Structure 1
Amino acid sequence: MEHREKMNRNSMYFRFGVCIVTAFLSAVVLFVSLQSAGKALLDNYYIQSGYLQKENNRRLEAFQSFISKEKISIMDTDKIADWVKKQSVVSLQVYKGDTLLYDSDYPEGKNMPVFSFSGDYEDYEAYHLVQFIDQEGYVFLTGYYNQRFYTGITVASVLLSVLLLIGVVMREVHKVIRYICILNREIQILESGDLNYVITIQGKNELASMAEGLNSMRQSLREQMAGKEEAVRLNGKIITGMSHELRTPLTALMIYIEILRSNSQWDTEFIMTYIDKIEQKAREIKMLSDYIIAYSLEDKSAAIPEQDFEHRETGF
């Protein structure tokens, strides 16, 4: 059970799962950190530079120029709405006296809340007195000018977080692919016939188990080939010895025949003696030929032990 749990912890599935979870958590932490730091920097910049107030004043001047150029009356809410729509990030409210005439949050005028302003407009920084073509009116103007910067920070944070996530995962994938390339190259080395090359084993995952199997197969094949080479060497040595032994009785046989042929005056006993020797040598030749045939059929049980050739008599 412990071995199985250990293999599960070392498996590629488990490692990739841990890698993905780690990458996701790292990406979330990076996103939150970038968002917090970016917003803090922007807020500090807005406070220090007075950017929002300056932008409000610039948009208010643009609105006043629009009124003067187009001769807009305080009741001409349709044209005011068109101007606000072009600004996209501006929020505008127009008051006639203390009555709300236009609110950009309700551009069609539908369901616009009934609102009556009370108090002094000068007490509110965002309220400004604007000269329309027919009369003066108070305008509340502000904008979401910093929204695009906050959006930019969010987009940048998301992109960097995604890049971090992909980078962490791809780092693990790169390790696996690099190891697969190493194994592929080493398998090609084995295919070329170099069985002495040791397969690289990295880690304890499925690829490492495959590498161990390849090493065992390589070792087994090398031992089998070494055994075959040794068998071929021994067979060659034995067959060479058999050939030498076969020549010896053949030579003796030919000599005996020449002796008998050289003189026809030998007595019967002498002739029978040489006939017995010829028969003995013929039996030896037959025995050796049987051994050679047995070896050609790879019948190792019929083989002559190697030491027999070293101690066999070679005399006539």
Structure 2
Amino acid sequence: MAHPHRKYTLAKKLALLILAAAIVSGIVFLTLQKITNDLIDGYLSSDEYYDQESAKYIQKFSRYVSENELSSTDRKAFGEWVKKENYINLTIFKDEVLQYDSIYSAADESAYGKERMTQYAEQHSYPVQFSDGEGRVMVDGFYSSRYHDLAFTLELLGATLIFLLIVLLGIRKSLRYLQTIHQEIHILEGGELDYEMTVKGHDELAMIAKSIEDLRKAFLDKLQAIDELQEESRSLVTEMSHDMRTPLTSLMMNLEFAKKEEAGADTCKDQYIASAYEKALQLKNLSDNLFAYFLLDKEHEPELETVAVKEVIYDLLSDQVAILQQETFKVHLLGELPDSYINVNVEELGRVFDNLMSNILKYADPKKDINLTFLSDQEIFEIHISNAINETNDSQESTGLGERSIKRMMSRMHGQFERMEKNGVYYIVLRFWHIKI
């Protein structure tokens, strides 16, 4: 889905920039053209300038004729001179008859020697000495054209430079931002993962920077999760080694005493063996819990399904409550199961209740009541369990592996687990979120 603030992509920005640059440079070009045309027409189109320039070309042509000893009929030489000079029109008369006109084509040459000299030509022509006698020469020049062409070239060059300048200034910000992204990527490559990427704007460059920033955060979160898991594992190994050392030492001592007792005598050998067996069971229980806890890390994320609270929770708890009652525990059910649905994995939820009931059997005071309460509102469903702690139980598990397993399994089902001890009473809460169907 497109970003709600993403108004302009890079392509649209560049198109708008080029359009704006074209409009500005076009206005500049037309303005310069108007100014230069007015200047050229104002200063180079006067009669005085025209007559002055014509007289210069008449002098140049007269020298050309003298140097090459041309007659009034050397039309090929006249054409070469006109091509060389450019921007002029040359007309030659002799004896008041047309001998050459540079604008005439080959089909018009029949007029040479026949066409009479006009009054305009007589007024605007100058005498030139040819090898066959004096003639009259008239030069009409487009003297301002060369300046118009030069001005047009300069105007076009100026407008192009302005166009390029606007475009370069317009993309400079994006290029600078791209360079910033490049430098920050190098910083991240160097291992500085705490360095935050600069995210500016809403175009493709900003999206790239945002993606890199999200990737950086996700990678940091993954590293933090790995560190927490490693720290938890180290802590667990330390605690387990301590808790396993005590029963293991006791086991070895009882076996050593039993070994030294004489066979057949009235001794404490059976007592030592019974104590050793009890410690062995305790070690097995600790190892089983440790295995089950670490097995959760190897399992894939559970597949959740939407189930009815009344059906699933009732089935799971009824079996557990029956076991507690067989062990002479008194269980009080408070509240009602809501007519709603939750997302769980039934197998893991069963393991959660198995761990809870196992802890109750081991650590709860059988002389005190166990309260099991159901609470529910529009969003959540909670199961509260409270029981008095059996203070005479000296085999209490200090690692809390059962609780850790419960917490991890609840988290895998997107639920929550909370525990608390107060005044010799143990409280736990299992929290689920309702699912709308």
**What TM-score results when the alignment is normalised by the length of structure 2?**
0.60
Q: Name the CA distance, whole Å, in 2 between partners of 1:50 and 1:278.
A: 133
Q: Name the CA distance, whole Å, in 2 between partners of 1:100 and 1:49.
A: 25
Q: Name the CA distance, whole Å, in 2 between partners of 1:112 and 1:29.
A: 50
Q: Does 1:250 align with 2:248?
A: yes
Q: Name the CA distance, whole Å, in 2 between partners of 1:164 and 1:127.
A: 47
Q: Deviations over 1:213-240 (max 9, x none)?
A: 3323322332232222212211211121
Superposed displacement of residue 17, structure 1: 1.1
- Aligned letter for 1:167? L
- Aligned letter for 2:119? G
Q: Does 1:309 align with 2:398?
A: yes
Q: Name the CA distance, whole Å, in 1 between partners of 2:147 and 2:264.
A: 132
SS in 2 for 1:309: coil
Matched with 2:160 is: 162
- Aligned letter for 1:128? Y
Q: How does 1:1-316 map onto structure 2 within 5 Å?
A: 7=6, 9-46=7-44, 52-96=50-94, 98-106=96-104, 108=106, 110=108, 116-119=116-119, 124=123, 126-261=124-259, 264=262, 268=266, 270-298=268-296, 308-309=397-398
Structure 2 gap ranges (5+): 299-350, 360-395, 402-437
SS in 2 for 1:129: strand
Paired residues of 2:258 and 2:273 also in contact (CA < 8 A): no
Q: Deviations over 1:235-279 (max 9, x none)?
A: 211121111111111111222234345554996463322222111
Paired residues of 1:60 and 1:141 also in contact (CA < 8 A): yes
CA RMSD of aligned residues (A): 3.7
- Aligned letter for 2:286? L
- Aligned letter for 1:217? L
Structure 1 gap ranges (5+): none
SS in 1 for 2:91: strand
Further displaced range: 236-245 or 216-225: 216-225
Paired residues, number: 307
Paired residues of 1:89 and 1:144 also in contact (CA < 8 A): yes
Change beyond 3 A, Cα 1:238–1:42: same
Q: Name the CA distance, whole Å, in 2 between partners of 1:78 and 1:261.
A: 140
Paired residues of 1:95 and 1:102 also in contact (CA < 8 A): yes
Further displaced range: 12-21 or 129-138: 129-138
Change beyond 3 A, Cα 1:236–1:218: same
Q: Name the CA distance, whole Å, in 2 between partners of 1:311 and 1:153.
A: 92
- Aligned letter for 1:180? L
Change beyond 3 A, Cα 1:82–1:220: closer
Change beyond 3 A, Cα 1:137–1:229: same
Q: Name the CA distance, whole Å, in 2 between partners of 1:265 and 1:5.
A: 88
Change beyond 3 A, Cα 1:180–1:44: same
Change beyond 3 A, Cα 1:172–1:121: closer
Structure with greater strand share of residues = 2
Q: Name the CA distance, whole Å, in 2 between partners of 1:41 and 1:4.
A: 54
Q: Name the CA distance, whole Å, in 2 between partners of 1:62 and 1:93.
A: 14
Matched with 2:366 is: none
Paired residues of 1:239 and 1:292 also in contact (CA < 8 A): no
Q: Which has the higher contact order (CA 8 A, sep 6+)?
A: 1
- Aligned letter for 2:237? I
Q: Name the CA distance, whole Å, in 2 between partners of 1:121 and 1:148.
A: 25
SS in 1 for 2:199: coil
Further displaced range: 109-118 or 156-165: 109-118
Paired residues of 2:92 and 2:137 also in contact (CA < 8 A): yes
Q: Name the CA distance, whole Å, in 2 between partners of 1:21 and 1:155.
A: 22
Change beyond 3 A, Cα 1:136–1:296: same
- Aligned letter for 2:398? F
Q: Name the CA distance, whole Å, in 1 between partners of 2:210 and 2:252.
A: 63
Q: Deviations over 1:270-295 (max 9, x none)?
A: 33222221111111122223234345
